[in-house]
Amino acid sequence: MGITIGPIFTTLIVYNQLTKPMRHQQTMFTSIPIFRALTILKCSNHHHTTTTTTAYMAATPATTVCSAASPSIQDHVATRAATISLQEWQAWGTDSPMPTQVAQIVEEMVDLERQSDAQMKFGGLGGKLKGDFKTQEDKKHRAKYKALDDSEQKLHFFSARQIACRLLGSRGYLCQKCWLPQEDCMCSRVVTSNLWHRIRFWLYMHPKDFLRQNNTGKLLWQVFGISAAKLCLFGIAEHEEIMWNAFSHSGRNNVWCLYPNKNTPTKSVEDSFAGCTSNNLLSEPHQTDEGETFNFILIDGTWSNSAAMFRRLKERADLIWGDDLPCISLSTGASAMHKLRPQPSWDRTCTAGAAVGLLDELHLVSQFNSLGLDKQAEAVENSVDVLLASLTGRRLRMGRSITRRQRHHDDFC
């Protein structure tokens, strides 16, 4: 039965046309809001738990990567240095250089703390700045933002400040691989896989989704690695240049965005790859030029943020190619994530779910069915199971509900 259903938004927006269920529909997951309190758990080797306040003091940080044997956070005081090193930056899931403006804002925040009597503290939803330091920093950054000349400068500053705050607020608290609190680290349970060498995912992520515990886009580089799944932060100039340089090299015909747009024609996966032949697809990795890479953009942001993100992509595509950005529609159905977070409609899924849908549908195209894309899709789907279990377990342990009020309406477009 063919029906047209609207856009998908939680950590990704993606278009559905049919209600075909996914392989394990019960495993699909959308973001469960995980609210970071001003306290964190301090666990000793005897697992005795006490509650302590999160504060930040200058020290040299170590890369925070957990393993099955790693203990929970050992100190109630999170460590912070005056700068973010390249090693620390890349440990969060990227191989890009440290963004210049992010580094500058980190240094400015540290200098402000030294000049004031207030201590830098983070907590609450999204790990935001708290207390007297927040008041002082707000005045400073709002004045700087207001003084900027144009919208592009304002976007760069906004994005860089969001990233800087998240880097400082998550240091010593989140695992750098899975973005979960260290006591809930799921890294040891994620099974990696090799993505077919001609596919590259680009996670075009809004700064407010960076380091979110319930983000599912991070699963793609956890499973496939940071070369196969690239992080590109919206409004971070260095990231966007890296992404568009790659697109320019590959050419418009090898770039697709998974996004529904009423004003831009979308094609199904089958129609988009109808011209490919098996002989063209079976080259060995060392024989494949970067220009032959299939680039898929996954917009990783909320409903309210995604329109601006897509508009920015379209404007850049028009500037480079003088044409619209090609868009792909998927035919995945509703997922069980609606049990955990209210959605505007039943057809929306998460970033990882969209990647699963794309790989599954590519596998059904005859030219692609010998490439093992179904197994690669299953690896991502299994990682969603692991994330769901970790977040659910954390909520239950903290006495929070794992079911959410429904927001489904029949009048979705």
pLDDT in tens, the chain (413 residues): 433 333 333 333 333 333 344 444 433 333 333 333 333 333 333 333 333 333 433 344 445 555 443 333 333 233 456 789 999 999 999 999 999 999 999 999 999 998 888 889 888 766 788 889 999 999 999 999 999 989 999 999 999 999 999 999 999 899 999 999 999 999 999 999 999 999 999 999 999 999 999 899 999 999 999 999 999 999 999 999 999 999 999 999 999 999 866 666 788 888 888 777 665 666 665 555 666 899 999 999 887 898 899 999 999 999 999 998 999 988 765 554 455 555 555 456 788 988 999 999 999 998 899 999 999 999 999 999 999 999 999 988 888 877 765 544 433 23
Q: What is the DSSP string of 114-175?
A: HHSSPPPEEEBTTTEEEHHHHHHHHHHHHHHHHH--SHHHHHHHHHHHHHHHHHHHHTTTB-
Q: On the CB side of 182, how many CA atoms lie within 13 Å of its CA?
A: 24
**Res 79: pLDDT:** 47
pLDDT for 170? 92
Report pTM.
0.79
pLDDT at residue 259, as a whole number: 81
Please report the DSSP string for 309-339 in residue order. Answer: HHHHHHHHHHHHHSSPPPEEEEEE---GGGG
Instruction: Tell me phi and psi for residue 172, to 5 degrees.
Output: 80, 0
To the nearest 10°, report the CA torsion of 175, 309, 134, 64: 10
Give dist(CA 116, CA 184) in Å, integer: 35
* Token representation of residue 412: 């979705």
User: Residue 296 carries which DSSP code?
Assistant: E
State the Cα–Cα distance between residues 195 and 371, nearest whole angstrom: 10
pLDDT at 341: 53
The pLDDT value given to residue 28: 36
Q: Give the distance, in angstroms, between the CA of residue 58 and the centroid of all CA atoms in the same chain.
A: 28
For the chain, the C-alpha Rg in angstroms (whole number) is 21
- Both tokens of 357, joined, read 């849908």
Inter-helix orientation angle 131-147/151-170, to 10°: 160
How many helices and strands in the chain, by DSSP H and E? Answer: 11, 14
Burial of 17 (0-12, 13-18, 19+ CB in 10 A): middle
Give whole-number Cα distances, 25 to 336, 354, 356, 392, in Å: 6, 13, 11, 17
Pairing of strands 15-20, 2-7: antiparallel
Residue 39 host element (H or E): strand 39-43
The whole-number pLDDT of residue 347 equals 54
Q: Is 43 helix (H, G, I), strand (E, B) or coil?
A: strand
Amino acid letter, residue 317: A
223/315 Cα distance (integer angstroms): 31
CA-closest candidate to residue 56, choices 130, 163, 159, 139: 130
CA distances from 147 to 136, 150, 151 (A): 17, 9, 11
Q: In the numeric block, which tokens belong to residue 238?
A: 């260095």
What does the DSSP 8-state code read for residue 396? H
